[in-house]
Amino acid sequence: MIENKNESYHYKEEDLNILLERYEKMAEKYRNLYDNSPDLYRTINLDGIILDCNKTYAEKLGYTKEEVIGKTIFDHVAENSLRMLQDTYHTWKTAGAVSSREIWLKRKDQTIFPVLLSAANLYGNDGTLVGSNTAIRDMTEIYNAKKEVEEHKMKSLNVIGDLSARISHDFRNPISIIRNSLELMKIQNPDLNEKNKNHIIMMERAIARISHQLEEVLDYVLPKPLDLETHSLCSILDSALSKIDLGEVKVNVPEEDHAILCDGSKIEIVFSNLILNAVQAMEKKGSIHVKVIDKLDSTIIEVEDTGPGIPKHLIEKMFEPLFTTRQIGTGLGLVSCKSIIEKHGGTIEIRTQIRKGTTFIITLPKLKPIKTT
């Protein structure tokens, strides 16, 4: 009996050795994956101190591994991504994970490059949370390819823009002549009957529509550099509203003014397009609320209407060139809005509910956008 018991124990010990051997091989396998991955890996504690990193992480940043370990994650972030990394760190600590956050890292030589960062909780042997493992993908090649595509697109737009400028120049003279002639007719014939008055109004609206569409096309294909200055947000809104036929729409603007760093004329175009779209969607009946949320590093502006809302299948198309749900228009209004906001280093998003309304959310950074080369 004793021998059988000893034999049984002997087999269990062998099984344990096999399991330990498998565990060591698996640990070695994952260690090799960590050390030799083409992606950047780092392990941090709860205070954001780097406890370990792989060779790729150190080399991409221009350091030795010894120089990296002991530093904080904030030592290796670009200035323009500091707030984003702080928010990412806070999200990880509260939610336990973050996924695909776009961050710009800073090399030892102070140059910067874009990455996608994801992090997950790391637990100790006793099951307590000790930090996180972070996987970082270098997006430099994708960013450069995207930049190259944008440059090619810009060259094509410049060619189209030159042609559009010539056509616009040829159109402006006859349009001005027609507009001035109509004004003269109204002055010389104050007693026109209602039928003729309506014809003149129709012609004036047609001229205004053609002029607006020409300007919209030109602004899209031949964008001008930003002229950044500090502007009054309320003044920009007032100027935009003064040029729009609101009908019976009531517009509520912020009582408190805010100073924003922007190209005033460009941001006015954004507000004009968003408010005009809202007025047309509500068929000139309803209300628009412009709200401002002042944050430490950004200004958030919400333009909310009480219109019919946007169907879900159309939301993704709203910022596509030439897409429009109206019979009139170039389909470039929202595209121009997105382009203008992004050139300011900001973002524009849509929140909508059917039969309740649509809100455009603009986020503008308070700091001057950093240009990268």
Higher-scoring residue by pLDDT: 224, 52: 52
Quote the CA–CA distance of 296 and 319 in Å, as a whole number.
28
pLDDT for res 8: 46
pLDDT for res 2: 40
pLDDT digits (tens, 9 = 90+) for 263-301: 998 899 899 889 988 998 898 889 999 999 988 888 999
Ranking 6-15, 17-26, 68-77, 263-272 by mean pLDDT, the lowest is 6-15
> Residue 82: which pLDDT band, with cuts at 50, 70 and 90?
very high
Mean pLDDT of 106-125: 93
Mean pLDDT of 343-348: 91
pLDDT digits (tens, 9 = 90+) for 202-243: 888 788 777 766 776 777 666 778 888 999 999 999 988 887
Residue percentage of the chain with pLDDT more than 90: 42
Structure tokens at 202: 């129709």
Ranking 66-70, 159-163, 320-324, 368-372 by mean pLDDT, the lowest is 368-372
Quote the CA–CA distance of 237 and 246 in Å, as a whole number.
13
Is a pLDDT exceeding 50 seen at residue 7? no
Quote the CA–CA distance of 319 and 293 in Å, as a whole number.
24
Quote the CA–CA distance of 16 and 10 in Å, as a whole number.
10
C-alpha pair distances (Å), 48 with each of 75, 120, 128, 299: 10, 13, 17, 28
User: What residues form DSSP beta bridges with 231?
Assistant: 260
pLDDT for res 325: 60
Mean pLDDT of 6-26: 55
State the chain's mean pLDDT as an integer.
Answer: 83
Mean pLDDT of 88-117: 93
Is a pLDDT exceeding 50 seen at residue 183? yes
Higher-scoring residue by pLDDT: 98, 27: 98
Any alpha helices (H) in the chain, and if so which ranges? 2-36, 55-61, 65-68, 82-95, 140-188, 194-221, 233-241, 264-281, 312-315, 333-343
Mean pLDDT of 340-350: 91
pLDDT digits (tens, 9 = 90+) for 159-182: 766 776 777 777 778 888 888 888
Is a pLDDT exceeding 90 seen at residue 246? no
pLDDT for res 115: 95
Is a pLDDT exceeding 50 seen at residue 351? yes
Structure tokens at 41: 């890996």
Is a pLDDT exceeding 90 seen at residue 66? yes
Tell me which H or E stretch contains 41: strand 40-45
Quote the CA–CA distance of 218 and 169 in Å, as a whole number.
11
pLDDT for res 148: 86
pLDDT digits (tens, 9 = 90+) for 22-47: 655 565 666 667 777 889 999 999 99
**Residues for the chain: how many in total?**
373
pLDDT for res 210: 78
Is a pLDDT exceeding 70 seen at residue 329? no
Is a pLDDT exceeding 50 seen at residue 156? yes
DSSP line for 225-237: PP--EEEEHHHHH
Structure tokens at 369: 């956008």
pLDDT for res 152: 79
pLDDT for res 371: 40
Structure tokens at 255: 């009582």
pLDDT digits (tens, 9 = 90+) for 184-197: 888 888 888 888 88
Ranking 77-91, 111-125, 235-249, 347-361 by mean pLDDT, the lowest is 235-249
253, 320 contact by CB (below 8 A): no
Is the overall model pTM greater than 0.85, yes or no?
no
Angle at 367 between CA 50 and CA 346, to 5 degrees: 90
Is a pLDDT exceeding 60 seen at residue 18? no
